[in-house]
Amino acid sequence: MTAASGPTDDRDPRVTLFGHWICPYSVRVSFALSERGIGHHVVDVPPTAARPRGYVVPEEFTANSPLGEIPLVRIGDQYRADSLPILEWLEDRVDAPPLLPSGSAARDDVRSAMAWVDAEVFGPMIGVYYGTRPDRVADASRRLAAALAELGRRLGDGGWLAGGAPSLAEAAVVPCYVRLEGLRRLGFDDPVDPATADHAGRTLALAGGRAVAWSNEQTDEFVGRFEAYRARRRDAAGGPSSAG
């Protein structure tokens, strides 16, 4: 995955994403930008936990990110942080094929699906890779499988999360799909609902999905980071049964 999305000569110099491929919240924004065909520049800012020693955070990012975390988007001289608000802000500010429908009821359906993903999918997903005790990882795995099964039941007649076409709801959930292989290697060993697996494949086949899909090397780096994290926690606790 490259640092910038879209053809080099088609970028809109007004749109800049401060983000990083390993951050699930940045992936949401990258997916939406690419799926909508919005040319943009990317300033690579690793999330706090992944910043290498000696990394200097860009002054512009520090000055405009309220919490000091990615993603942050600049359009012209205006900034917006937090992935879900960014997605809607881009819909309002950039003239490109939308991922948010025009009708109020349809928009409410998309927003409801996005909020559900945030509340039900991301928690157990993060619990899998930050878990340091086998029982905690297994519990997070079961909860993630249950959430993905519910996601499959929520798919509409058109096979998408909100309506008959891809929407911002797909942008909300795509970070989970991107890291499924890594999650497997870190302890997610429950089956994925077939309808959800099909949805994941179709989402990753979209232009936005192709733009954010991980290479084998990125999956390896993701897994390696959390294996090292678990090892540090075990060492700090003096054995294999550290809390987590």
Same domain, 154 and 189: yes
Q: Per DSSP, what are the bridge partners of residue 215?
A: none
Among candidate residues 93, 114, 130, the one where a domain is terminated: 93
With respect to residue 239, please indicate whether it lies within any of the assigned structural domains: no
With respect to residue 2, please indicate whether it lies within any of the assigned structural domains: no
For 214, phi then psi, to 5°, come to -85, 145
Same domain, 177 and 125: yes
Residue 146 and residue 121: Cα distance in Å, rounded? 9
Average pLDDT over every residue of 125-140: 96
pLDDT range class, residue 150, cuts 50, 70, 90:
very high
pTM, entire model: 0.90
Q: How does pLDDT run across 26-73, given as a tens digit for each residue?
A: 999 999 999 999 999 999 999 988 888 899 999 999 999 988 899 999
How many domains does the chain divide into? 2
Is 70 exceeded by the pLDDT of residue 228? yes
Domain that holds residue 16: 8-93
The two tokens of residue 29 are 């924004």
The alpha-helical segments, DSSP class H, found in the chain are 24-35, 59-64, 83-93, 104-120, 122-130, 134-154, 168-178, 180-185, 194-205, 207-212, 216-237
Average pLDDT over every residue of 147-153: 97
Same domain, 131 and 86: no
What is residue 51's predicted lDDT score, i.e. its pLDDT?
87
Report the CATH number at residue 152. Answer: 1.20.1050.10
What is residue 25's predicted lDDT score, i.e. its pLDDT?
97
Least confident of 122-131, 168-177, 232-241: 232-241
The two tokens of residue 83 are 């992935």
Same domain, 121 and 57: no
